A and B are shown apart, each in its own frame.
Chain A
């Protein structure tokens, strides 16, 4: 299923990410409120700088045809921008949930690790939401 080497690689990448989510308080329901109320720069600073660093890295990877550790040239599949409905409607529904719960998927899992067990309820609800989307997919406008 997954080699021990891959397991350790992705486990450590996830651990670092989860740790930063906690230390930067991105997992905080209150920080999300602050963001959507435009009361603090904190969340915008984190997301903004993350994009800048991601953008520079991806440009370097693309221009230099960087290979991954398995020796394959890294390619990033483009997303179809013509499916405007799915991005606006789906995105807005996600945004409603993000602000309501005060957590998006990454923070949900990090909060679980920090010992807030009640977060299992929204995780199960998110699985139900994902399943419902899968079942209704052919009937929804994209």
Chain B
């Protein structure tokens, strides 16, 4: 059992569990799975400047989802700290080679140590990755009305055309960043 909890899970085990989150939340209380909505709830909880978009009862609408996120943090603690996999991630050789050429050398953790540490904030690249990356995730998710969970998983599961368009957008942006912008900034 301990081994099952520490070793990485293949896609055919993880995929269905992620998918089951959708009916689980619907049955628990008619809730639609979507993580980025919580960023809005946090903004609404302190609504500086009285922005209309954040004028709603965030406790009534968002308490369940903020609780869910608290669980995600706890799940991250269990899965990534208590039952952490001691082995490095088995990545595709081509990805490793491409990233080595871009100057990434440490492949041991979940994130490259070169880009994710407190010292890197002093550098231009670190600021771009962590600050601009985070900003675009938050801005884009609300502009598009959802993120990977809300559109790619929940929306596509419900055959929403809007979500399909959004997911196409996710890939337009993601491919441009990976193939054209990352080689310049790294």
Contact = CB atoms under 8 A, between A and B. Distances in A.
A94 B71 contact: no
Contacts of A83: 162
Contacts of A77: 32
B76 A18 contact: yes
Interface in B111-166: 111-112, 115-118, 120-121, 128-145, 147-149, 151-163, 165-166
Interface string A66-101: 101110101111111101101111111111111111
A37 B95 contact: yes
Contacts of A43: 11
B116 A119 contact: yes
Nearest to B128: A100
Given A18-B79, A29-B115, A70-B29, 12 more contacts: A1-B63, A6-B63, A16-B75, A23-B83, A46-B15, A78-B160, A79-B160, A97-B137, A99-B174, A129-B138, A133-B53, A138-B52
A137 B55 CA distance: 13
Q: Provide the main secondary structure of the chain B interface.
A: helix
B114 to A, nearest CB: 11
Given A30-B95, A45-B15, A134 B158 contact: no
A117 B130 CA distance: 12
Nearest to B63: A2
Contacts of A90: 140-145, 166, 169
Q: How large is the interface on B (under 10, 10 to 19, 20 to 34, 35 or more residues)?
A: 35 or more
Most buried by A among B24, B29, B69: B69
B39 A126 contact: yes
A100 B12 contact: no
B18 to A, nearest CB: 4
B143 A86 contact: yes
A135 B44 CA distance: 12
Contacts of B89: 25, 28, 30-31
Nearest to A110: B76
Nearest to B116: A118
Contacts of B139: 93-94, 97, 129-130, 132-133
Interface string B6-46: 00111111111111111111111111100110111011000
A76 B69 CA distance: 21
A7 B15 CA distance: 25
B64 A10 contact: yes
Given A50-B153, A96-B136, A97-B135, A6 B29 contact: yes
